[in-house]
Structure 1
Amino acid sequence: MPLDYERIKNWPIPEGRQEYSARDTILYALGVGAAISNKLSPEELRFVYEKGLQALPTMATILGSPEGFWMADPEAGIDLAKVLHGEQFLTIHKPLPAEGVVIGRETVDEIYDKGADKGAVMYCSRKLYSEDGELLATSGWSTFMRGNGGFGGTATGQPKPHPVPDDRPCDSSIDLISRPEQAVIYRLSGDWNPLHIDPAFAARGGFDVPILHGMCSYGIAGRAVLQLLCNNDPSRLRAFNVRFAAPMFPGETTRTEVWLEGPGRAALRVRVLERDVIILNNGYVEFDA
């Protein structure tokens, strides 16, 4: 069904306030596949050990959400059965503390109309602040709404995917495994969608087994980026954007490939080796070289 552009664009999204602990930070790291071996390297230990603990930068994308799910409000007129997470963006302004209180302020930035038979794409963002008002991170995402096109808007100006070079091999890559119980761990960080744990629910979505959270695969890729480009130092990551291309299943192995594009810039792509399927594409990274 067509949506009311002005109403959604100016939706009064409540401010989100969240207190998180060192335990939450460790749980997030485990949820995105950290600490998979024994013994742990000092670089890996820093994300799961309270002594000298550091937060993974991608954790900023799950903090500061408003209470409830405003898109589920019937007044919004969004067909949730036909909604897909399209892209994820992250800009780090300051390293995320290992524990603390954060404030999230979320906005609907733009909605592009692809047509009645093609749906609409909504871009939102959330600025994450410390309790004393310092901007820590800006996360953004696109939502593909297959059931809400044809509202009379325009498709002009929609951001284009970042190109990944196809004329040369990648400059570096890394393989990271996931656990069979990866989705069960990751959901403890706040994403309770039954698609990722309930086999019967997953079957209704057309999957033989539950799939991994897209934001979990994003976090795994974030760990890969830290190792490939930042010497595992989270303070060096400045931006990390991807487009979701296909589902990943718990227990699969990811291969993250990066192409250097200049000082402190790289393109990225992630595939799962077991099925040779690209799951994250059109990635873009900025980092302190």
Structure 2
Amino acid sequence: MPIDAAKALAAEPRSGEITWDRKDVQLYHLGIGAGANPDKAGPATDPDELRYTLESRLHVLPSFATVAGAGSPGVISGLAMPGVDVDLAHVLHGGQRVEIHRPLPVAGTATATSRIAAVYDKGKAAVLVMRTEVADADGPLWTNDAQIFVRGEGGWGGERGPSARLEPPTREPDRTVERPIREDQALLYRLSGDLNPLHADPEFAKVAGFDRPILHGLCTYGITLKAVVDTLLGGDVSRVRSYTTRFAGVVYPGETLRIRMWRGGGGVQVSVTAVDRDDAPVLADTIVEHS
């Protein structure tokens, strides 16, 4: 079996230094659509957008934690851990959780420590949970949990893992916004570190079972958090405590996302769908916890 669950779980954590600077932050923000505000239809110099793009006003959206250090600890690195030997064409990002311990600095150097925290047997697939804990000289910064979905690698009789689903509230959303995805969005976003050819190479996408390259799930993840921060958290990135989602469906460049948000219980529950495909699910089981 290409995945040896016992070996993967017993492997020693891997640690390495990561660094980032304001240009990395700015590139990431541009990769998730900063510089355009569809709600205002204003210019890229709108003050609400300059806080993501202009160095003198820059603050860091917490989802940047998924790419800081050129995205080295994450989905692709998880496939290089002991006990894991799988075909990249069978891999999808199944879900993501980021817990923020304190606001992310615009530039920094930190130590990222990664390990396989769980391996689940979903029958026709396996799910690896890649946990990365990041700390600098002042202490913990963030913890990333990436769920890596590997088709065709289940069925060995292992633990199935959590399967609870978070149903959207029955009432009308507190806010609904739409976010258009540029045709070149995936090509720009991949410059932040995720060079999986699934998001750029049409031939590779066909081998993986898609008509054309798809948008990175973490790009949709960032677009969604930015929408929540901008509309319900007053643009204050420091209020975000954690952000969890399950990738329920793909997004193609050129489509439009519909983002529905409900306040409640110290958090915002979110549902994201693809407008162009009759509101096909994109992100589900999504919660932004905040102060």
TM-score, L = length of structure 2:
0.89
Q: 1:161 aligns with which of 153, 162, 165?
A: 165
Report the AA paired with residue 42 of structure 1. Answer: P
How many Å apart are 1:2 and its aligned residue?
6.4
2:129 is matched with which residue?
123
Q: 1:271 aligns with which of 270, 273, 282?
A: 273
CA 1:128 to 1:161, structure 2 compared with 1: closer, same or farther past 3 Å? farther
Q: Is the 8 A contact 2:168 2:271 kept in 1?
A: yes
Q: Percent identity?
A: 40
1:143 is matched with which residue?
148
What is the DSSP-based 3-state SS (H/G/I as helix, E as strand, rest coil) of the residue aligned with 2:53?
coil
1:48 is matched with which residue?
53
1:64-85 deviation line (CA, Å, top 9, x unaligned):
5349735246853445443221
Report the AA paired with residue 273 of structure 1. Answer: V
What is the DSSP-based 3-state SS (H/G/I as helix, E as strand, rest coil) of the residue aligned with 2:285?
strand
1:106 is matched with which residue?
114
What is the DSSP-based 3-state SS (H/G/I as helix, E as strand, rest coil) of the residue aligned with 1:274?
helix
How many Å apart are 1:272 and its aligned residue?
1.9
User: Distance in 2 between the 1:153 and 1:123 partners?
Assistant: 14
User: Distance in 1 between the 2:89 and 2:199 partners?
Assistant: 16
CA 1:188 to 1:8, structure 2 compared with 1: closer, same or farther past 3 Å? same
What is the DSSP-based 3-state SS (H/G/I as helix, E as strand, rest coil) of the residue aligned with 1:40?
coil
RMSD: 2.2
1:241 is matched with which residue?
244
Q: 2:68 aligns with which of 46, 63, 72?
A: 63
Q: 2:84 aligns with which of 54, 57, 76?
A: 76
Which blocks of at least 5 consecutive residues in structure 1 are unaligned?
A: none
User: Distance in 1 between the 2:63 and 2:90 partners?
Assistant: 26
Report the AA paired with residue 166 of structure 2. Answer: H
TM-score, L = length of structure 1:
0.89
1:72-101 deviation line (CA, Å, top 9, x unaligned):
468534454432211111111111111111
CA 1:93 to 1:159, structure 2 compared with 1: closer, same or farther past 3 Å? farther
Q: Is the 8 A contact 1:195 1:210 kept in 2?
A: yes
Q: Is the 8 A contact 1:14 1:66 kept in 2?
A: no
CA 1:209 to 1:4, structure 2 compared with 1: closer, same or farther past 3 Å? closer
Bigger shift: 196-205 or 243-252? Answer: 196-205
CA 1:191 to 1:57, structure 2 compared with 1: closer, same or farther past 3 Å? same
User: Distance in 2 between the 1:27 and 1:278 partners?
Assistant: 27
Which blocks of at least 5 consecutive residues in structure 2 are unaligned?
A: 37-41
How many Å apart are 1:154 and its aligned residue?
2.0
Report the AA paired with residue 122 of structure 1. Answer: L
What is the DSSP-based 3-state SS (H/G/I as helix, E as strand, rest coil) of the residue aligned with 2:198?
helix
Q: Is the 8 A contact 1:252 1:272 kept in 2?
A: yes
Q: Give aligned pairs, total.
A: 282
Say yes or no: does 1:187 pair with 2:194. Answer: no
